Amino acid sequence: MNSMFRLMPIALALAAGSARSQGVVISGIADAAARSVSNEGRGSVKSQVSGSNSTSRLIFRATEDLGGGMSAGVHLEHGISLDTGTPASATQFFDRRSTVSLSGQTWGEVRLGRDFVPSYVNWSRYDPFSYVGVAGSNNLVSATPQGPIRATYGTAPNTTVRSNNTFQWFMPGNWGGLEGGVLLAPGEGGVAANGQAKVQGARVGYLTKQWGASVAHTRSENDLTAAGGAFTDQALGGSVDFGMVRVSAVQRRFKQDQAKQTNTLLGAWIPIGLHEIKLSWVKADLSGRVGATAIDANDASQIGLGYVYNVSKRTVLYGSYSRIDNKGAATFVVPGGPSGMAGGGTSSGYEVGMRMGF
């Protein structure tokens, strides 16, 4: 055998990710689309948007092998509005994640910094639209109309997705399908207007290649919850992969004082070679009251339909459609449409775009 061919695999292997072993790994997602959204009685708006298949981002990561099955790691993740070059958060540059951690093969990972809360992780994994775009299930999670979320945070940053100041423990990857963790964050004052909240949460699940089920609980306190009790956020879901189709079902319950919001999602992924069809149905059910105002009538539902063409492993073209039907005073909308829709209106939108992983 020629020595050249003997050496090829070595050289290739060595070159395959040398940045990975010795330094900082930079990666990210660039995703942009053309969107049109119509809101009942208000006409429509055409726009260019960022992150409709997956949020545009830039990531810096590094790990250090400490020996004995232990390692240290850093993860800094910046969200980008690619259409304008603007940070996704005006104040938090590494808004998506900013953590340092210590991991051990037998005992898992201890992670400090800004990160997702357990209930979000346990909801978004079951959403075929990954909580983004015209058909993302995030459209039915907002401070408008008023419900437990608005009662707890007003228009200040909330903890329905991420939390600052987290101390987390994650199970290791070798507990036979079991996965999950615990999160604690000090309130540091707990002033909602400052984006502060004391957070406690946990998540546990069982995952195989064909099916999985998981449950999570997150509890947040701040100065606005002092009177009526903590804001709680629970998510229970599961999914089954039948090969021709993967289906999911998940329910999430937000509660604070007398106000409750229950969101339910049914999802489906249908792979057809390089193509994929995605379907989702989401329902938001508000009940109880905020102060003296009854909110029971303010429900909404959303249907989402998506198509993804995998040009390569990293690059996709996609199109999505969604429609939200509000009841009562509910004004949930597809993002990017004209403002001022009346309560109970219908909002719909579609988009065509491109995503590149790098």
- Would you put residue 42 in left (φ > 0), alpha (ψ -120 to 50) or beta? alpha
Instruction: Please tell me whether residue 117 binds its own copies under the rule CB under 8 A.
Output: no
Dihedral sign of CA atoms 72, 119, 156, 96 in order = positive
Q: What residues from 33 to 52 belong to the interface with its own copies (CB under 8 A)?
A: 33-34, 45-48, 50
| Contact status, residue 345 vs residue 40, Cβ threshold 8 Å | yes
Instruction: Please tell me whether residue 31 binds its own copies under the rule CB under 8 A.
Output: yes
Residue from the set 131, 142, 165, 236 that interacts with its own copies by CB under 8 A: 165
Residue from the set 40, 42, 92, 228 that interacts with its own copies by CB under 8 A: 92
Residue from the set 73, 271, 328, 344 that interacts with its own copies by CB under 8 A: 73
Nearer to its own copies, 21 or 210 (CB): 21
Least separation in angstroms between CB 263 and its own copies: 26
Q: What residues from 318 to 357 belong to the interface with its own copies (CB under 8 A)?
A: 353-356
Residue from the set 15, 227, 244, 272 that interacts with its own copies by CB under 8 A: 15
Strand-pairing partners, residue 279, are: 268, 305
**Alpha-carbon distance 30 to 195, whole Å?**
28
Least separation in angstroms between CB 350 and its own copies: 14
Phi and psi angles of residue 119, each rounded to the nearest 5 degrees, phi first: -65, -35
Residue from the set 55, 82, 225, 304 that interacts with its own copies by CB under 8 A: 82
Nearer to its own copies, 15 or 227 (CB): 15
Instruction: Please tell me whether residue 112 binds its own copies under the rule CB under 8 A.
Output: yes
Alpha-helical (H) ranges within the chain are 3-15, 18-22, 118-124, 148-153
| Contact status, residue 120 vs residue 160, Cβ threshold 8 Å | yes
The number of CA neighbours under 13 Å toward the Cβ of 277 is: 6
Nearer to its own copies, 164 or 218 (CB): 164
Instruction: Please tell me whether residue 7 binds its own copies under the rule CB under 8 A.
Output: yes
**Alpha-carbon distance 186 to 246, whole Å?**
38
Nearer to its own copies, 97 or 255 (CB): 97
Q: What residues from 264 to 323 belong to the interface with its own copies (CB under 8 A)?
A: 311-312, 314-315
Give the pair of three-digit tokens for residue 285: 């059910």
Nearer to its own copies, 86 or 208 (CB): 86
Q: What residues from 180 to 239 belong to the interface with its own copies (CB under 8 A)?
A: 185-186, 188-189
Nearer to its own copies, 90 or 272 (CB): 90
Instruction: Please tell me whether residue 176 binds its own copies under the rule CB under 8 A.
Output: no
Using alpha carbons, select from 97, 120, 73, 128 the residue that is nearest to residue 270. Answer: 128
Residue from the set 60, 107, 169, 206 that interacts with its own copies by CB under 8 A: 60
Nearer to its own copies, 28 or 271 (CB): 28
Cα distances (angstroms) measured from residue 81 to each of 84, 85, 94, 116, 319? 6, 6, 13, 20, 19
Give the pair of three-digit tokens for residue 238: 């599961």
Using alpha carbons, select from 325, 321, 310 the residue that is nearest to residue 350. Answer: 321
**Alpha-carbon distance 252 to 314, whole Å?**
31
Least separation in angstroms between CB 110 and its own copies: 8
Phi and psi angles of residue 315, each rounded to the nearest 5 degrees, phi first: -115, 130
Instruction: Please tell me whether residue 85 binds its own copies under the rule CB under 8 A.
Output: yes
